[in-house]
A and B are shown apart, each in its own frame.
Chain A
């Protein structure tokens, strides 16, 4: 055998390698497993955001926390959803100057990328949930009627959020630094949930 890297396969070796199967029936259970995983990730069925679906619960919880914080401030009572064992941080994602067009292929691709990032964190043992937000918004201030779409005039519209578990700010910021939102010119604000 030559020590040169350009050693060639003999005819017999080529035949042997050519005889290897390039196609093989996968285990039947794998198809069901993959379909189930796609359903869990909301990648099958009616087209919806592919960010994790637990968001309604989180969204309600956050909304409830904010409401009860206000009420608690009046009544001297503090209230929130059940306190987790470890600190939690909100990553507030604000759009940059060039957000993807709603429902465009680019947006879908980006959302898939964000979902994949969250999936990687989960596989590393990080607790993470999140959701993309529609651009449409209503804002209430005092007794004024709800204003529509104030975000349109805001270059840094709130585009989505993640709720993550982290030991401290340092770890939360380190996790946030990997969020794909940053490479698209958006900002990520890290705020600890105040239990």
Chain B
């Protein structure tokens, strides 16, 4: 993930201006540059709930604005924001008592495809994965993170990351074969 990053000069200029002036116009520029990428990531991580995704994006910007002055540009702004978002999604789900299932239920394909008449699309199928599988799958197969990056970000071992990705792929393949 980091290898593909580069520090966008426009981001740097905007951040420096924002830290200096804290003005609304500069913030809106930053918001409009990055939220179109943060929002679908949030939607996928939370499993499709628009309200939860919006909460996560809002909190991400709140945290980012609190910490921007100390941002050291060791990654791109987009990667840094995504990291904040991932942490916030996990916290929100813990706060809301979301059960972090580690195993798929036996009837996963049937339950996942339960909406009558609905052809399963990838996002809908991803949304029905247990949170742990979903997070790893989205970060690895959709966003391009390595297992090492996922391990660090989600505070799980590399082996767990690989295992959860394997099970997530297996579940999704089963789902699409069965439709």
Contact = CB atoms under 8 A, between A and B. Distances in A.
Co-assembled chains A and B: yes
Contacts of A50: 66
Interface stretch (A1-9, A87-95, A143-151): A1-9
A106 interface: yes
B141 A5 contact: no
A30 B35 contact: yes
Contacts of A44: 22-24, 27, 65
Interface in B39-97: 39-41, 43, 50, 54, 57-58, 61-63, 65-67, 69-70, 95
Interface stretch (B4-12, B102-110, B127-135, B162-170): B162-170
A173 interface: no
Most buried by A among B57, B66, B173: B66
B141 A9 contact: yes
- Contact count band on A: 35 or more
Contact of A38 (B62, B143, B169): B62
Interface in A146-165: none
Contacts of B39: 24, 26, 30
A35 B122 CA distance: 32
B37 to A, nearest CB: 5
A27 interface: yes
A26 B35 contact: yes
A109 B67 contact: yes
Contacts of B70: 105-106, 108-109, 112
Nearest to A38: B65
B63 A31 contact: no
A113 B50 CA distance: 27
A116 interface: yes
Given A30-B58, A50-B66, A116-B66, A24 B27 contact: no
Interface string A91-135: 000000000000001101101110110010001100000000000
Contacts of B69: 105, 108-109
A43 B62 contact: yes
Interface string A1-41: 10111110100000011001111111100110111011001
A22 B95 CA distance: 27
Interface in A29-68: 30-31, 33-35, 37-38, 41, 43-47, 50
Contacts of A26: 35-36, 38-39, 54, 57
B123 A20 contact: yes
A160 to B, nearest CB: 16
B172 to A, nearest CB: 9
Contacts of A109: 66-67, 69-70
Contacts of B43: 24
Contact of A17 (B24, B122, B165): B122
List of 9 A-B pairs having minimum Cβ-Cβ separation, nearest first: A112-B66, A109-B70, A5-B162, A26-B39, A24-B40, A43-B65, A108-B69, A23-B36, A5-B166
Interface of A: 1, 3-7, 9, 16-17, 20-27, 30-31, 33-35, 37-38, 41, 43-47, 50, 105-106, 108-109, 111-113, 115-116, 119, 123-124
10 contacts: A5-B159, A5-B165, A30-B58, A34-B61, A35-B31, A41-B65, A47-B22, A50-B66, A108-B66, A116-B66
Given A5-B166, A17-B141, A37-B61, 6 more contacts: A5-B159, A22-B37, A30-B57, A31-B32, A43-B65, A50-B66
